[in-house]
Structure 1
Amino acid sequence: MKKRMTLVLLLMFTTLVSAQKMNNNKKAILASVEKHEAALIKISDSIWALAETAFEEHKSAEILANYAEKNGFNVQRGVAGMPTAFVATYGSGAPVISVLGEFDALPGISQKAVPTKEPLQDGAAGHGCGHNLFGAGSLGAAIAVKELIAQGKLKGTVKFFGTPSEEKFFGKIWMVREGLWDGVDVNLSWHPSAATKADVQSSLALVDFKVEFFGQAAHASADPWNGRSASDALELYTTGINYYREHIKPTVRIHYHIQDGGQVVNVVPDYSKLWVRVRDTKRSGMMPVYERVQKMAEGAAIMANVDYKISLISGIYEVLVNRAGGEIMQQNLELLGDISYTAEEIAFGKKIQEITGKPQVGMDASINPLEETKEHPGGGSTDVGDVSWNVANINLGVTTAPKDTPWHSWAVVACGGMSIGHKGMSYAAKAMGMTMVDLFENPKLVEKVKTEYKERKGSEVYEAIVPEGPPPIGTN
């Protein structure tokens, strides 16, 4: 009984301390997100249903831009040469705090909002990375901060960046190249996840390029000696890549997708094409591998007696971690507490886990502690990395799918179109809004975050990994 009373008193004390830290501006953030929640869910669901892919997100981008405009933001559309990129701005002066929003889908994973695999439309796209939630949640945070600036309770500028084509061409690179983050003090970003935590892990640097081989067509049976096979070159090249895998560091990843290996069986192919991707935990480790794999294309062309061409598509940096920003975010996550789920939502999650062969443990609702930053993390890549090398950046992950859910899959699409995803989206809006309040209210925190950014970047000179000219609009 005595232990129980002690526990009750401890909980009461913890609640009191939390209440004291939840100042009026942060309470206003929560109230604003809840006020706009129905509209934000409608926006998210509309983008989820549209499922527009890289550089084709015209309706999705317009939905977000229109709602920003409706809520008093000045919206600049079609920035950095991309019709679906935009910047929404409110306020004036320092500090300038920005937040990222994404909204592109992935091809081929259309799915209904049900816990069994069931496409909305066979072969169509789906939001298997939760970007329908990403854009709407970030806009919710920006609007909540805007309202405080409008009321005179905060001073400064808030920006919402609508960033297209994260999944394929990495639209943020062209936005960075255009200087759109010049003058921004701190940037915030979040991503749908299977866990909720302040994200202080980096990502993988990446480079994408296209390899084409050009040969001579001939009859495959009557006179193959008159042919020079572009398909042979392609196979020799991929064989070289696969033998090379034994001799690269464990942090490196090499992927390729054969886009054209010839059209018919009775013709020696005179053309072949593949998309190649090289990754590593550091750009400095990625570049030598990239250079080596390019040389292999020349070797394959020599062996097959064909010509070849290499075309850079784009490339991205690893995320530059900011632990000072992560600590601010962590405090706000702990203030907010765990996401709560209904019995129906937990059952939905367990059904997905059952079908995908994972332990049926349901949702991870806990607030994970701030992790130690790993030197060589696993995982994927994001063009948020390029933003993070140009402005101090704070990252967040929020639960929008069951524990261990396969990402970029139908299961994530299903959760993003129902209440599990909606709850994560609203939570992210609140956490980012509260963190922005801390930055607006306390200039010392802004300086602390910016100081760490400068220290981690050091003497590194950022160089965008993109070809000359405009973004590859219309090549999806």
Structure 2
Amino acid sequence: MDKSTLFGRIDEYEPQLKRIAQDLWENPELGLHEEESAKILISALDEEGFEIETGIGGMPTAFIASYGDGEPAIGILGEYDALPGLSQDVSANREPVEPDGPGHGCGHNLFGTAGVGAAIAVADAIDAGELEGRVVFYGCPAEETLVGKTYMARAGAFDDVDAAITWHPGDLNTPRLGSTNALNSLMFTFEGVSAHAGGSPDSGRSALDGVELLNTGVEYMREHISDDARLHYAITDGGQAPNVVPAEATVWYFVRAPDREEVERNTDWLRDIAEAAAMMTQTDVTERFLTGCYDYRANNVVSDVIWENMQEVGPIDYTEDDHEFARDLRETIPEDRIESNLANVPDELYAEIRDEALYSDPVQAYDEDRQSHGSTEVGDVSWIVPTGQFRAATWPVGAPGHSWQVVAANGDFGKEGVAFAAKVLAGTTYDLLADESTLEAAHDEFETEIGTDAYETPLPADAEPPFDVTTMGN
């Protein structure tokens, strides 16, 4: 079996991949609660003879599916969680299927499905004697809350593969080389004393005052952190009524910075402010650490193999009907939002794609020196093994992720991108398994840039997966 046969296997399997993607789209599930989504993907892999291990990192919807024996081993990452409040029908008008229900506004119904298709095609190549080693599919839950891969990494899930590859739906077909911000996600709960706010405020101690003083202290802290660092918060519990002194209040913080060291330094400062706020209000404060992740470091050798395969696979074959629906969706997006989403595109490429509803030709990476202020727990994997990732054009050019327009696209023409992504993943895996020198070069780069013992989990020993936290996070 050569790569043309490999790609042909994905073409044969494409109708089933589209059905899987549609099933996931029609049954969106929030992070750490993707019971049916995980079952669907596991079933497809189990039917092909993969060895399945579930419950990774204490998460019932996290799993590992392996095929083959020995070394080398290449990991393919897959995600399948949805986002809250983004339910949407396949329509160019805002039409929720279920009011306030979840929806696949980040394309994870396509994401995990393509990885499954790629893993099955590589398994066929192993059976045919074309490849030696193993292909490992990682079922990663709760990416939107930046939980899945961090808890899987703490459990050692990625320690026995030689490289990892992944992708993400988007508006262009291009490798991703830029870095991301590392992050800590934690909550502070203040406990005070309830009292009648009008009749006897002196007998109460306001937990909400503690939260507000913490937030005020952070506003002054911002002046003295780096330009690329970020602190943002939401008060998740601030009391029930204005005439009752709140006995309990909670604030949720994200602490971001270009590397773990600065994240930890700023988190320690944040903790100091929380303690000071508790002292000033005569309340008590406790911390709940939800998750933490590393900055993403692209491996250039692996990324080059991804780019070679993207060119080999070629553009996604969208129909005129697909382009027409994409144009209809794009017309509902304000022009300033489209411009904002294309702000980092080079001028020459911008001129080429600005007026296109769909642009499916492969585009060479243009973000090598870019520091994204967002975060992803693919970063943790990239600090454990050489890692590469890419985007694939499954929604309209300039459309913002986490939007109802993207949900509509992912339930319609976005499914045409599944086979493209699967072929790039499968072809990259094939090349890394077949060419020992390329894999060695990837490891040489990894050891030089990161080091084999650099990763330490950011999770405290007593941290548990936050099953009650389902809001978006990355």
Structure 2 counterpart of 1:377: 371
- Out of 395, 400, 409, the position equivalent to 2:394 is 400
Cα distance, 1:300–1:469 mapped onto 2, change above 3 Å:
closer
Q: Is the 8 A contact 2:59 2:465 kept in 1?
A: no
Q: Is residue 361 from structure 1 mapped to residue 338 from structure 2 by the alignment?
A: no
Offset of residue 470 of structure 1: 6.3
Q: 1 CA distance for matches of 2:356 and 2:372? A: 24
Q: Is the 8 A contact 2:74 2:162 kept in 1?
A: yes
> SS of the residue aligned with 1:147?
helix
Offset of residue 148 of structure 1: 0.8
Q: 1 CA distance for matches of 2:118 and 2:401? A: 25
Q: Which runs of 5+ in 1 are unaligned?
A: 1-23
Structure 2 counterpart of 1:177: 154
Q: 2 CA distance for matches of 1:473 and 1:213? A: 19
Q: 2 CA distance for matches of 1:474 and 1:180? A: 20
Q: Is residue 433 from structure 1 mapped to residue 410 from structure 2 by the alignment?
A: no
In the TM superposition, 1:30-179 aligns within 5 A as: 30-179=7-156
Q: 2 CA distance for matches of 1:90 and 1:313? A: 33
Structure 1 counterpart of 2:464: 471
Structure 2 counterpart of 1:340: 317
Structure 2 counterpart of 1:14: none
Structure 2 counterpart of 1:15: none
Offset of residue 353 of structure 1: 2.1
Structure 2 counterpart of 1:276: 253
Q: Is the 8 A contact 1:116 1:351 kept in 2?
A: no
Q: Is the 8 A contact 1:193 1:397 kept in 2?
A: yes
Q: Which runs of 5+ in 2 are unaligned?
A: 339-354, 470-474
Q: 1 CA distance for matches of 2:12 and 2:226? A: 50
Q: Deviations over 1:130-162 (max 9, x none)?
A: 111110001111001001111112111111111
Structure 2 counterpart of 1:216: 193
Cα distance, 1:372–1:308 mapped onto 2, change above 3 Å:
closer
Q: Is the 8 A contact 1:25 1:437 kept in 2?
A: no
Q: Is residue 447 from structure 1 mapped to residue 440 from structure 2 by the alignment?
A: yes
Q: Deviations over 1:156-180 (max 9, x none)?
A: 1111111111111511122112222
Q: Is the 8 A contact 1:169 1:313 kept in 2?
A: no
Q: Deviations over 1:259-318 (max 9, x none)?
A: 100011210111100110011122222222211122111222222221111221110001
Offset of residue 350 of structure 1: 2.0
Which residue identity lines up with residue 389 of structure 2 in the other structure? Answer: N
Q: Relative to structure 2, which stretch is displaced further, 286-295 or 314-323?
A: 286-295
Q: Is residue 187 from structure 1 mapped to residue 181 from structure 2 by the alignment?
A: no
Offset of residue 385 of structure 1: 0.8
Structure 2 counterpart of 1:16: none
Q: 2 CA distance for matches of 1:93 and 1:475? A: 39
Offset of residue 127 of structure 1: 1.1
The higher radius of gyration belongs to 1
> SS of the residue aligned with 2:2?
helix
> SS of the residue aligned with 1:157?
strand
In the TM superposition, 1:406-417 aligns within 5 A as: 406-417=400-411
Q: 1 CA distance for matches of 2:113 and 2:28? A: 14
Q: Deviations over 1:380-412 (max 9, x none)?
A: 211111111111111111111111111112122
Cα distance, 1:137–1:459 mapped onto 2, change above 3 Å:
closer
Q: 2 CA distance for matches of 1:431 and 1:318? A: 24
Offset of residue 203 of structure 1: 1.5
Which residue identity lines up with residue 327 of structure 2 in the other structure? Answer: K
Aligned length: 451
Q: 2 CA distance for matches of 1:439 and 1:169? A: 28
Q: Relative to structure 2, which stretch is displaced further, 354-363 or 306-315?
A: 354-363
Q: Deviations over 1:45-87 (max 9, x none)?
A: 1111211111100110010001100111111122222111111
TM-score with structure 1 setting the length: 0.91
Which residue identity lines up with residue 396 of structure 1 in the other structure? Answer: F
> SS of the residue aligned with 1:267?
coil
Structure 1 counterpart of 2:347: none
Q: 2 CA distance for matches of 1:393 and 1:440? A: 14
Q: Is the 8 A contact 1:313 1:467 kept in 2?
A: no
Structure 2 counterpart of 1:230: 207
Q: Is the 8 A contact 1:81 1:470 kept in 2?
A: no
Q: 2 CA distance for matches of 1:160 and 1:315? A: 23
User: Cα RMSD (Å) of the superposition?
Assistant: 1.6
In the TM superposition, 1:244-393 aligns within 5 A as: 244-358=221-335, 361-371=356-366, 373-374=368-369, 377-393=371-387
Offset of residue 473 of structure 1: 5.3
Q: 2 CA distance for matches of 1:218 and 1:182? A: 53
TM-score with structure 2 setting the length: 0.92
Q: Deviations over 1:227-285 (max 9, x none)?
A: 11111111122222233333322211112121100011210111100110011122222
Q: Relative to structure 2, which stretch is displaced further, 453-462 or 91-100?
A: 453-462
Quote the sequence identity (%).
37
Offset of residue 460 of structure 1: 6.1
Q: Deviations over 1:351-393 (max 9, x none)?
A: 222211136531122311133621x512421111111111111
Q: Is the 8 A contact 1:327 1:370 kept in 2?
A: no
Q: 1 CA distance for matches of 2:313 and 2:368? A: 23
Q: Is the 8 A contact 1:54 1:164 kept in 2?
A: yes
Which residue identity lines up with residue 139 of structure 2 in the other structure? Answer: G
